């Protein structure tokens, strides 16, 4: 099975292949390999699509950087059509690391094969990572990958959105304390961008859905702004809409401070009992932001949320207030 494609992968990448892609002619495949790829792409059944991804993944160790990137891109295309992202995500991320190493090697500066392979690998990486919370968490725990991304982004060798997906806050719990009513809540962030404005947009919606309209005198949230923050059912025109404007319904602060800037990272929040902490109060100032600037769409498949895990009982809430000196 896939004998022609396997032969293509084992062959060395030619200058003509790179030129064809750079000129917008698309990927060059030998006719027999093209037929095999067309057959792989025909299915509409998720299980069959996933099996096809596995078949492609099994060919990936045999190719050079560009041909392996072509396979990764094909896997990503099948994932976009309904295949399980987990079927090839680890192989794609190992290729991703090889790609970063190749870009960081000064001997490869100006090498069109390396840079063109990166364009394919980066697309496949984003397609799969944006669909897999568990994988994002595993790879976020690899600081060497982030260090290499920082280095290459500063040198202009990788696009900004790659770093964004590696800094998402996934399955991170957040404590929110309301001193006025002596209530405490635990929320969970998934796919939240590395700036608090994104968290605030989702958090104020989740808090009002739980505590009820008018909680702490808050006005209702704008459903369209929440939809954008969740990255749900957006059209291409929504991705960079500069007419979007959202604002705080509450005041979010730290114990003993007036306000926690929305441009800060959730990782800058202090912790109590191992969890990051925010205080919530009636709004005392008007803070506005443009969602498209603060947390524009990284990938259409990325789903973001902040949802209530539990409201702590009064004794637990009082214990937290005591620890925070509030």
Handedness of CA 25, 31, 36, 42 (dihedral sign): positive
Per-residue pLDDT for 264 more than 90?
yes
Report pLDDT for 275.
96
Residue-wise over 41-77: b if at least 16 C-beta within 10 A, else e?
eebeeeeebbbbbebbbebbeebebbbbbbbbbbbbb
Sign of torsion over alpha carbons 91, 9, 107, 155: negative
Query: Would you state the pLDDT for residue 223?
Result: 95
Is residue 237 scored above 80 in pLDDT?
A: no
Judged against a pLDDT cut of 90, whether residue 61 lies above it is answered with: no
251: three-class secondary structure by DSSP: strand
Whether residue 119 is predicted with pLDDT greater than 80 in this model: the reply is yes
| Pair 53, 104: CB distance under 8 Å | no
Facing residues of 280 across strands?
252
> What pLDDT does 86 receive?
92
Q: State pLDDT tens for residues 278-292.
A: 999 999 889 999 999
Under the banding of pLDDT at 50, 70 and 90, the label for residue 188 is very high
Please name the residue that has the structure tokens 């897999």.
132
- Residues 114-133, mean pLDDT to the nearest whole number: 94
Ranges of H-type helices in the chain: 3-10, 15-22, 31-42, 46-57, 65-80, 89-104, 112-129, 133-140, 143-154, 160-166, 196-211, 223-230, 291-294, 314-324
Tell me the mean pLDDT in the region 142-153: 90
Answer with the residue of higher pLDDT: 240 or 99.
99
- pLDDT value for 78: 96
Tell which residue, 118, 203, 200, has the closest CA to residue 162: 118
What is the C-alpha to C-alpha distance for residues 139 and 167, in angstroms, rounded to an integer? 10
Say whether pLDDT at 240 is over 90: no
């Amino acid at each position: 099975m896939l004998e022609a494609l396997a032969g293509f992968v084992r062959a060395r990448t030619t200058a003509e292949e790179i030129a064809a892609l750079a000129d917008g002619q698309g990927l060059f495949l030998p006719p027999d390999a093209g037929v095999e790829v067309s057959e792989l792409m025909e299915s509409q059944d998720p299980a069959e699509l996933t099996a096809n991804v596995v078949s492609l993944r099994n060919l990936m160790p045999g190719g050079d950087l560009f041909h392996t990137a072509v396979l990764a891109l094909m896997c990503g295309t099948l994932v976009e059509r309904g295949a399980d992202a987990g079927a090839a995500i680890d192989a794609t991320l190992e290729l991703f690391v090889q790609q970063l190493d190749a870009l960081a090697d000064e001997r490869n500066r100006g090498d069109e094969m390396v840079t063109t392979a990166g364009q394919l690998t980066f697309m496949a990486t984003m397609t799969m990572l944006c669909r897999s919370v568990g994988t994002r968490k595993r790879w976020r725990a690899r600081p060497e990958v982030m260090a290499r991304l920082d280095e290459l982004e500063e040198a202009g060798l990788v696009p900004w959105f790659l770093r964004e997906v590696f800094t998402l806050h996934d399955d991170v719990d957040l404590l929110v304390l309301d001193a006025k009513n002596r209530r405490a809540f635990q929320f969970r962030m998934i796919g939240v961008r590395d700036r608090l404005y994104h968290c605030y947009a989702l958090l104020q919606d989740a808090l009002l859905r739980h505590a009820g309209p008018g909680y702490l005198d808050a006005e209702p949230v704008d459903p369209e702004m929440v939809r954008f923050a969740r990255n749900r059912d957006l059209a291409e025109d929504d991705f960079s809409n500069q007419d979007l404007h959202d604002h705080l319904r509450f005041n979010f602060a730290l114990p003993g401070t007036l306000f926690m800037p929305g441009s800060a990272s959730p990782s800058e929040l202090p912790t109590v009992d191992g969890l990051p902490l925010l205080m919530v109060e009636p709004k005392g100032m008007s803070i506005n932001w443009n969602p498209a600037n603060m947390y524009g769409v990284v990938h259409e498949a990325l789903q973001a949320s902040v949802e209530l895990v539990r409201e702590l009982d009064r004794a637990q809430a009082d214990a937290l207030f005591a620890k925070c000196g509030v």
